Amino acid sequence: MTRENAGFLAPGFLRALEAAYGGSALGRQELEGMLAEDVDGALFLRSRIDETRAAIIPALWDVVVAVDPPATSGPRADACGIVAVGRAGQEAYVLGDA
């Protein structure tokens, strides 16, 4: 949480973040450490995912595991995205996301 680390940040950095993101869902996530599940303008909303969650997954025709590696390395690098998706007919099912 950025506010808890204010003593370790460059002068003005926290003020700049608050000016840019204060009062927004992203600001609450980055400044206060709150998990922002549904963000205005997001492509995928947690509420919509939950509404369309399949109770039973049929036999799958294909299963794909996709990896989105970070472009950089080191302690400040982005996380690696991994998703497993299966297909049955014209329907796709997200089996796992990490």
70-95 residue pLDDT tens: 888 887 777 888 999 999 999 999 99
Claim to verify: residue 44 and residue 8 sit in the same structural domain: yes
Please give the Cα distance from 49 to 54 (Å, whole number).
10
Residues 2 and 21 in one domain: yes
pLDDT tens-digit readout, 37-60: 666 777 778 788 888 889 999 999
The boundaries of the domain holding residue 71 are 55-98
Same domain for 84 and 46: no
Q: How far apart are the first and last CA of the chain?
A: 22
| 57-72 tens-digit pLDDT | 999 999 999 999 888 8
Contacts of 72 (CB under 8 A, 6+ apart): 78
What does pTM read for this prediction?
0.54
